[in-house]
Amino acid sequence: MRSKHTGRRRKGLLDQESEHNPLSGVANLFDVAMVFAVALLIALVMSYHLPEMLDPDASLTVVKNPGQPGMTIIIKNGTTIEVMNMTDKIAGGSGEELGTAYKLANGKVVYVPADGTE
């Protein structure tokens, strides 16, 4: 036979537990947010097709703003990353024309020397 005080006692214990730590659910939300943030970072790297940036043995060269005044070249060789901002001192100066390069419809590049010889 159950006494009528048992139900009140259980209810009282449950109330005490929930009042003990009102922010217990927030910790779980923080964990979920951290997993979501890491997933977004991985998706960003994969969307740019740059998993080589995470590989310590891979080599990669990225050119930002090619042919424009603010052009930047990022070179990753293994674990070292070098960033070069193009200026007149790095990539400027005088020179001579060597020929012309043509990009064909199939994506191949053909170089034709300026003097007509191959």
Write the pLDDT tens digit of every residue in 45-97.
Answer: 788 777 777 788 888 888 888 878 788 888 888 888 899 887 766 655 677 77
Q: Tell me, what's the pLDDT at 115? A: 75
Give the DSSP H/E element, type plus range, for residue 80: strand 80-85
**Domain limits of the chain?**
1-49, 54-118
Pick from 18-27, 32-41, 80-89: least confident: 18-27
Tokens standing for 55? 């590989």
Q: Which residues pair with 80 in a beta bridge?
A: 77
Strands (E), 17-88: 59-64, 72-77, 80-85
> What is the percent of the chain where pLDDT is above 90?
8
| Distance, CA of 65 to chain centre | 18
Q: Which residues contact 78 (CB under 8 A, 6 or more apart)?
A: 56, 57, 58, 59
